[in-house]
């Protein structure tokens, strides 16, 4: 079998297999023997049916398909063995078969593991911004308040105040005083802070008290809008059905045990504040770290490095993203319904965006992996810890130079990717 291997585009090779009549005859004989192993005919033991009867009892299209697959697999095994420096991956695609005289010519494509092309060494002068992540006192106080509110006690009250929470029933009335819509409203500190309407009209009102306002959609908060589009409300009747005072818990040993458990190290309010400070600082650091690495990858892709993602890996990543979307939609059928409802043009754009995001994610991963190799970062790629790559990259580039490159201008969302497995069939 003659073989021709030519570098193609997008991290693939074009492969041509020329099968002469002798090679074809060998493949045909091999496939007949394979069919012979499983053929059952009366009067013969399984696996011992004469070859001429095997051929008579096997559909010609099955035999042709088997011969074709055998020629492709045999040829690919020889190609991989003879070109052991090429990292082939995945399965062959774009297979075509033709006849040239007595020879059978098979052409196909086979992907290779992508390689990052580096354009010089100027990228090594890149320096990340120093990350300022220490929690401020205001952030700590806000976090403590939110924590207290999660464990607050709600006690009955008579009058609505700034720090209370109340339940209000609404009745929307038309010009004749007839109810055309109704709803329930909850009013608390957030509503008082966001909309002057609530402070003006609700603070000081008592439980079971009712009052009426002229309806004005443009002046009312969204939660106080009439939901029915086919009616015209002229007034709204509000009735305070319940009022609760929010009583925040004291930070003491009992409260902390409830929050963190009996065996936790946090026993005092001072220790709690230290815990809050450390947590906020870590969150801020991780967020800024991801932004810095994302900006670094953006500059690398635009200016310093390039990579062709093979179809094999792109299809795998695209498939994973589609499967994740199907889970979010509640199954494959619901996902199909959603896409169908979009219409053909929007559906195509939707799927193209997913494939584009998959390609970008893979490019970033391989560039990040290449940079880590060049900088000799010790990374466990099979099972990296949380932000391990980003943190070690920052340790290297965040302190490598105090001079900032002028290329860092735009920022975009961060995506992380696990290494793709080599799937070469041999």
Query: Which residues, other chains included, contact 323 with Cβ-Cβ below 8 Å and sequence gap of 6+?
Result: none
Tokens of 338: 């959603």
pLDDT of residue 263: 83
Q: Which residues of the chain have pLDDT under 50?
A: 400-426
Prediction pTM value: 0.69
pLDDT of residue 95: 94
Q: What angle do CA 53, 56, 57 make, to 5 degrees?
A: 90
pLDDT of residue 411: 42
Give the separation between CA 159 and CA 202, rounded to whole angstroms. Answer: 9
Q: In 283-388, which ranges are E strands? A: 305-306
Query: Which residues, other chains included, contact 387 with Cβ-Cβ below 8 Å and sequence gap of 6+?
Result: 286, 289, 290
pLDDT of residue 421: 40
Answer whether 354's CB lies under 8 Å from 257's CB: no
Element (H, E) at 337: helix 332-342
Write down the H helix ranges in 375-398. 388-397
Q: Any idea what DSSP says for residue 405? A: P
CB atoms within 10 A of CB 391: 17
- The CA-atom distances, in angstroms, between 88 and each of 81, 354, 398 are 11, 26, 36
Give the separation between CA 215 and CA 181, rounded to whole angstroms. Answer: 12
Q: Which of 171, 173, 153, 175 is nearest to 163 (CA)?
A: 153
Question: Would the CA dihedral through 155, 159, 162, 167 be positive or negative?
Answer: positive
Q: In what order do the strands lie in the sheet with 2-7?
A: 2-7, 12-19, 103-112, 88-100
Domain coordinates in residue numbering, the chain: 2-112, 115-151+250-426, 153-247
Q: Which of 311, 338, 302 is nearest to 322 (CA)?
A: 338
Q: Which residues pair with 285 in a beta bridge?
A: none
Strand 88-100 with 12-19, pairing: unpaired
Instruction: Considering the domain delimited by 153-247, tell me its CATH architecture.
Output: Roll (3.10)
- Max Cα distance, the chain (Å): 101
pLDDT of residue 260: 84
| CATH superfamily for domain 2-112 | Trigger factor ribosome-binding domain (3.30.70.1050)
Write down the H helix ranges in 151-264. 189-194, 196-202, 253-260
pLDDT of residue 399: 55
């Amino acid at each position: 079998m003659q073989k021709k291997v030519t570098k193609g585009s997008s991290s693939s090779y074009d492969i041509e297999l020329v099968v002469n009549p002798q090679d074809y005859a060998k493949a045909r004989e091999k496939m007949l023997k394979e069919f012979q192993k499983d053929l059952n005919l009366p009067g013969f033991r399984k696996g011992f049916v004469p070859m001429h009867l095997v051929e008579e009892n096997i559909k010609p299209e099955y035999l042709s398909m088997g011969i074709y697959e055998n020629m492709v697999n045999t040829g690919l095994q020889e190609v991989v063995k003879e070109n052991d420096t090429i990292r082939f991956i995945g399965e062959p695609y774009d297979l075509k078969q033709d006849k040239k005289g007595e020879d059978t010519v098979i052409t196909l494509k086979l992907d290779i593991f992508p390689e990052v092309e580096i354009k010089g060494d100027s990228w090594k002068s890149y320096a990340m911004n120093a990350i300022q992540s220490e929690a401020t006192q205001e952030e700590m106080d806000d976090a403590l308040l939110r924590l207290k509110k999660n464990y607050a006690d709600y006690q009955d009250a008579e009058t609505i105040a700034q720090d209370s929470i109340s339940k209000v029933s609404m009745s929307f009335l038309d010009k004749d005083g007839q109810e055309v819509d109704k709803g329930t409203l909850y009013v608390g500190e957030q509503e008082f802070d966001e909309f002057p309407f609530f402070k003006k009209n609700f603070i000081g009102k008592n439980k079971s008290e009712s009052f009426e306002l002229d309806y004005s959609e443009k002046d009312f908060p969204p939660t106080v809008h009439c939901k029915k589009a086919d009616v015209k409300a002229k007034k709204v009747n509000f009735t305070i059905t319940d009022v609760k005072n929010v009583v925040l818990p004291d930070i003491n040993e009992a409260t902390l045990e409830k929050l963190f458990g009996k065996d936790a190290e946090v026993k005092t309010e001072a220790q709690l504040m230290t815990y809050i400070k450390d947590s906020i600082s870590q969150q801020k650091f991780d967020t800024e770290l991801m932004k810095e690495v994302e900006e670094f990858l953006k500059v690398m892709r635009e200016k310093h490095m390039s990579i062709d993602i093979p179809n094999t890996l792109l299809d795998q990543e695209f498939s994973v993203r589609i499967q994740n979307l199907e889970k979010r939609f509640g199954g494959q059928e619901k996902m199909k319904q959603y896409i169908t409802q979009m219409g053909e043009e929007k559906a195509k754009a939707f799927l193209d965006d997913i494939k584009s995001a998959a390609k970008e994610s893979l490019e970033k991963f391989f560039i990040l992996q290449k940079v880590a190799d060049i900088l000799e970062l010790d990374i466990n790629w099979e099972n990296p810890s949380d932000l391990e790559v980003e943190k070690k990259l920052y340790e290297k580039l965040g302190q490598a130079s105090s001079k900032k490159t002028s290329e860092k201008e735009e920022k975009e969302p961060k995506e992380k990717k696990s290494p793709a497995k080599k799937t070469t069939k041999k």
